[in-house]
Amino acid sequence: MRVFTEETLDTETIVSELLDGVGAVTLRGLFTPAEIAEARDIVMRESDADERGRKVTHFQGNAEKAGRINLQRRVWNLLGKGEIFSRMAAHPAIMKVMRAFIGSEFIMGSIAANRILPGGPGQEPHIDYPYWDFHSPETHPARINATFPLNAQATIMLDPFTEETGATAFVPGTQRELHYPDESDRFFERCERMLGEPGDTVIFFGAVWHCAMPNRSSIDRSAIITQYLPKFVKPMEDMPAALPAEFVKNASPDIRQLLGLNYPYPEVLDAARGGNAEGRDAMKAR
């Protein structure tokens, strides 16, 4: 995987790597030890309160059958749990990459923490929303493909991502042909790992095959998982509804954009203000 820092950020190269290269890049050291500690403390506290693993999670069918689903815990609605998560979601380097990759008016589909405790079994190989049910391709439009992205993911590491802790596995280049992985694809024979240290961020196209791997270490493997989408894709998580009205009212311009508040649709057009609302002339008047 190519590695960049905030100082060496090259969005043209990154977009090419996400679409036509391995499908992922590392942004090294975007967050300070103090920021990581602050975020991690909140994630640990919230996930410790869910020791039975009752929060919804994904791609954990085998873990659920084995009675070990509590060893992978999700913490949802992070924007409402600490200001640090707004800073993480709208970090200038991440915003710059996303504007280049999925459009200047992109939104956030979800922001959550994923904590895999020692002994956690990992996930099944998959691709991410809105492709995550492409194992049933007949439910998607004809000729849908990955030549343009409908998803981008940012994984901010709160703990070391090593082979022992269960660093995310992925098969480089699989984003180029939209396909949900199955057993015949030999995922575990072909995969590489998204390795890094706390404060590193991996940005990847969610159409690349990937999964969390088993945590065979004695420490946690936790991360902030943020999903970004083009403005016209329905978000996975209804964040404005989960947040206090005061938070939404006082949100910064970047956070308002990420919450989808700048894009009015769907709208009750029968009750909308009269006059021309769309077109080049309308845009110029705004």
Under DSSP, the state recorded for 137 is G
C-beta of residue 174 within 8 angstroms of C-beta of residue 114: no
Instruction: Residue 7: give its domain's CATH number.
Output: 2.60.120.620
Across 37-41, 195-199, 262-266, least confident range: 262-266
Answer whether residue 61 shows pLDDT above 70: no
Across 53-62, 122-131, 246-255, least confident range: 53-62
Give the count of domains, the chain. Answer: 1
Length of the chain: 286
Q: What range does the domain containing 267 cover?
A: 2-285
Which residues in 269-279 are b (16+ Cβ under 10 Å) and which e? eeeeeeeeeee
- The three-class DSSP label of residue 37 is helix
Answer whether residue 83 shows pLDDT above 90: yes
Answer whether residue 206 shows pLDDT above 80: yes
285 to 34, 257, 260, 273, 276: CA distances (angstroms): 44, 20, 21, 15, 11
pTM above 0.85, yes or no: yes
What confidence score (pLDDT) does residue 65 get?
72
Answer whether residue 251 shows pLDDT above 70: yes
- Rounded to an integer, the average pLDDT of 180-186 is 95
Answer whether residue 59 shows pLDDT above 70: no
Give the model confidence (pLDDT) of 4-29 as tens digits: 999 999 999 999 999 999 999 999 99
Answer whether residue 270 shows pLDDT above 90: no
Q: Token digits for 2?
A: 């190519």
- Edge to edge, the sheet with strand 192-193 lists 192-193, 169-170, 210-211
Q: What are the backbone dihedrals phi and psi of residue 158, each rounded to the nearest 5 degrees, phi first?
A: -100, -20
Give Rg (Cα) of the chain: 19
Give the model confidence (pLDDT) of 119-177 as tens digits: 998 899 999 999 999 999 999 999 999 999 999 999 999 999 999 999 999 999 999 99
Provide the percentage of residues in the chain whose pLDDT is more than 90.
Answer: 82
Contacts of 168 (CB under 8 A, 6+ apart): 155, 161, 193, 194, 202, 210, 211, 212, 213
- Rounded to an integer, the average pLDDT of 205-231 is 97
Which residues are bridge partners to 204 per DSSP?
Answer: 24, 153
Q: What are the backbone dihedrals phi and psi of residue 204, each rounded to the nearest 5 degrees, phi first?
A: -145, 155
